[in-house]
Structure 1
Amino acid sequence: MAQELAAGQVWSYNEAEPKTSRVIIGKVDRFDGQQDRVVSIVVTDAPIPSASSTHQTIQHLPVAEESLRKSLIGLEGQVEVPSGFVDGYQHWRLVYDEGKAGYFTIPVNEIVKYVGQVAGQPRTAE
């Protein structure tokens, strides 16, 4: 897939559940000393139950470009990056730059399953 990734692109992805779930590219970063770029994405219609819905939009997920490209099927269009993306990206970037955060290197469908599992766990007191 030689298509350049750019903010606002809407992509279908492998093994999306439900089939209507999509990836929206939020930002593409290349960090000093790294071979791979990190692509920050939004995932729509993710099967993560909340009090008001059975599906949610995941506002920010950082993914290694190589892993993301293996997940993407087809470019479907261009949209404005959802407004909720910015806060998630800025928070991640702050802790990433401090060396306290990383990014995913697994397929998008596995990331969504993981987020769903973590979101469904009861919170413990610290």
Structure 2
Amino acid sequence: MATAADIAPGHAWSYRGAQLPSSRVVIGRIDIAGATTVASVSIVDAPLPDPETGALAPRLVEHAPIAIEALLPSLLRREGDAPIPDGFDGGYRVWRNAFDAGQGGFFTLGVEEIVRMFQTALAPQRAAH
């Protein structure tokens, strides 16, 4: 299992339960948030629903803050370095401002569970007839 010393901004990792072989976690920032260390990550090629069809397609989760205790067991293998994706900095700033104001939190789920949560939340809603 990865340790906190193994991860740094710019590292790309494969993760447990990835539904697409190309899906990776890219570490963007690591912060101390109160008593918890939080890794802010992007999830590249996350299989998320197309808003129109609902079909799963590789998409980018620009920013997800995850408690380090939840992230580390998810990480399988470091796959080298990767650029921090466009959109990460804006998402990070919005989260950090909300967190500092007492209005933002962080995930305590593993990466696979976070992707599944996004799949459910982003699935097109069908109108009842």
Q: What is the TM-score normalised by the length of structure 2? A: 0.85
Q: Is residue 24–residue 44 contact of structure 2 (8 Å, CA) maintained in 1?
A: yes
Q: Which has the higher strand share?
A: 2
Name the Cα RMSD after superposition: 1.7
Extract structure 1 runs of 4+ deviating beyond 3 A: none
Matched residue of 2:48: which SS?
A: coil
1:50 and 2:53 matched: no
Deviations 1:65-120 (A, max 9, x none): 01100100011101221121001100011111111110011110000010111112
After alignment, is 53-62 or 72-81 more displaced? 53-62
Shift of 1:121: 5.0
Instruction: Report Cα offsets for 1:4-28 as digits up to 9, x if no partner.
Output: 3111100000011112211000100
Segments of structure 2 that go 5 or more residues without pairing to the other structure are none
Aligned to 2:65: 62
> Once the two structures are aligned, what percentage of the paired residues are identical?
37
What corresponds to 2:39 in structure 1? 39
Render the CA deviation track for 1:27-51: whole Å, top value 9, x for unaligned.
00013x41x3000000011111235
**Does the 8 Å CA contact 2:7/2:27 hold for their aligned counterparts?**
yes
Aligned-pair distance for 1:57? 0.6
Where do residues 1-126 of structure 1 align in structure 2 (5 Å cutoff)?
Answer: 1-2=2-3, 3-31=5-33, 33-34=34-35, 36-50=36-50, 54-120=57-123, 122=125
Segment drifting more, 74-83 vs 8-17: 74-83
Tell me if the contact between 2:51 and 2:124 (Cα under 8 Å) persists in the aligned partners: no
